[in-house]
A = this chain, B = another copy of it.
């Protein structure tokens, strides 16, 4: 019987190797190789023999995160099936990942049997969703249009600076802008992100991986 090839993208080495061991123990699957981040993966994929059937992708990674990477893969390798694997239970993250084209989203506390099932289902039916994730998704449907807030480069830079002990005046200096412009950025983001104050911005930035603790 032919083994299905899997590639693991995960920045933490030990986890990467441990998960690889697990996948190799499943009798229909084999790990082709592992990558430390999205950039690594894209480089590897340029060699045609390096293209697997399934990619197990962590969401929180440095350099090129799971969401961005999956989005690129959707366009450049549409036949590649991406399964997200993350500790992140945040609705907006899950939605972003699925919108980016992931075929499923596994939380890192699933049983290993579920991982095997997910891999098999993804090969045979093209997707797999756990009840956990489905529930989170259904709940978030009622909350309307989350997950499709588009932030500009400068706004992201601003948000990162907001997650510090600087005053807005200091942020303005650092970004070479007038304090009044910063006021505008802030007020805009309050609306866009539906938050009331700076604390809300900080929490949003951290939840969405814009600022890493």
CB proximity of A197 to chain B, nearest CB, Å: 6
Interface residues of A in 117-131 (CB under 8 A from B): none
Q: Chain B contacts of A202 at CB under 8 A? A: 199, 202-203
Mark A residues whose CB is within 8 Å of B: 11-15, 17-19, 21-22, 25, 85, 87, 90, 106-112, 115, 162-165, 167, 195-200, 202-203, 206-207, 213
Q: Chain B contacts of A199 at CB under 8 A? A: 162-165, 198-199, 202
C-alpha spacing A146/B198, complex, angstroms: 27
Q: Chain B contacts of A85 at CB under 8 A? A: 14
CB proximity of A14 to chain B, nearest CB, Å: 5
Kindly report how many copies of this chain are found in the complex they form together. Answer: 2
C-alpha spacing A12/B199, complex, angstroms: 29
> Contact: B164 with A12, CB < 8 Å?
no
Q: Chain B contacts of A164 at CB under 8 A? A: 199
> Contact: B163 with A12, CB < 8 Å?
no
C-alpha spacing A199/B199, complex, angstroms: 7
> Contact: B17 with A111, CB < 8 Å?
yes
Q: Chain B contacts of A21 at CB under 8 A? A: 18, 21-22, 25
C-alpha spacing A19/B202, complex, angstroms: 34
> Contact: A14 with B111, CB < 8 Å?
yes
CB proximity of A16 to chain B, nearest CB, Å: 8
Q: Contacting A11 at CB < 8 Å: which of B11, B19, B109, B213?
A: B109
Give 3 nearest A-B pairs by CB, closest first: A18-B18, A12-B108, A12-B109
With A17-B22, A18-B22, A112-B18 in contact, is A207–B213 under 8 Å at CB?
Answer: yes
CB proximity of A83 to chain B, nearest CB, Å: 12
